Structure 1
Amino acid sequence: MNFLLQIFYTFLKIGMFSFGGGLAMLPFINKEIVEKHHWISLSTFKDIIGIAQMTPGPIAINSATFVGFKIQGVLGSLFATLGVITFSFILVSIATHYIMKFKESKVLKAAMLGMRPAVIGLILSAFILLAKNSYSLQDKKSLIIGGLIGFLLFKTKLHPILIIFFSGILGIIFYGIIPTF
Structure 2
Amino acid sequence: MIYLQLFLAFLRIGAFSFGGGYAAMPLIQEEVVNHYHWISMADFTDLVTISQMTPGPIAINAATFIGLQMAGPLGAVAATLGDVLPSCVVVTIIAIIYTKYRKLSLLQGVLKTLRPAVVALIFTAGLLILLPAIGLPSTLDVRMCAWFLIALVMLRKLHWDPILVMVLTGVMELSAQLLM
TM-score by length of 2: 0.89
Structure 2 counterpart of 1:155 = 157
Shift of residue 74 of structure 1?
2.1
Q: Does 1:42 align with 2:44?
A: no
Shift of residue 135 of structure 1?
5.6
Instruction: Output the CA distance in 2 between the equivalents of 1:161 and 1:78.
Output: 30
SS in structure 2 of the partner of residue 175 of structure 1: helix
SS in structure 1 of the partner of residue 134 of structure 2: helix
Where does structure 2 lack aligned partners over 5 or more consecutive residues? none
Structure 1 segments, 4+ long, off by >3 Å, are: none
Structure 2 counterpart of 1:104 = 103
Counterpart of 1:136 (choices 130, 134, 144) is: 134
CA contact (8 A) 1:68 1:79 kept: yes
CA contact (8 A) 2:28 2:59 kept: no
Q: Does 1:74 align with 2:76?
A: no
Where does structure 1 lack aligned partners over 5 or more consecutive residues? none
Instruction: Output the CA distance in 2 between the equivalents of 1:165 and 1:135.
Output: 17
Structure 2 counterpart of 1:173 = 175
Change (3 A) 1:135 1:156: closer
Amino acid at match of 2:144: S
Identity between Structure 1 and Structure 2 (%): 38
Shift of residue 158 of structure 1?
2.6
**C-alpha distance after superposition, 1:67-124 (max 9, x if no partner):** 2222222222221111111110112223312211211221111111111110111112
Structure 1 counterpart of 2:91 = 92
CA contact (8 A) 1:40 1:71 kept: no
Instruction: Output the CA distance in 1 between the equivalents of 2:97 and 2:107.
Output: 11
CA contact (8 A) 2:13 2:28 kept: yes
SS in structure 2 of the partner of residue 18 of structure 1: coil
Aligned length: 176
CA contact (8 A) 1:141 1:174 kept: no
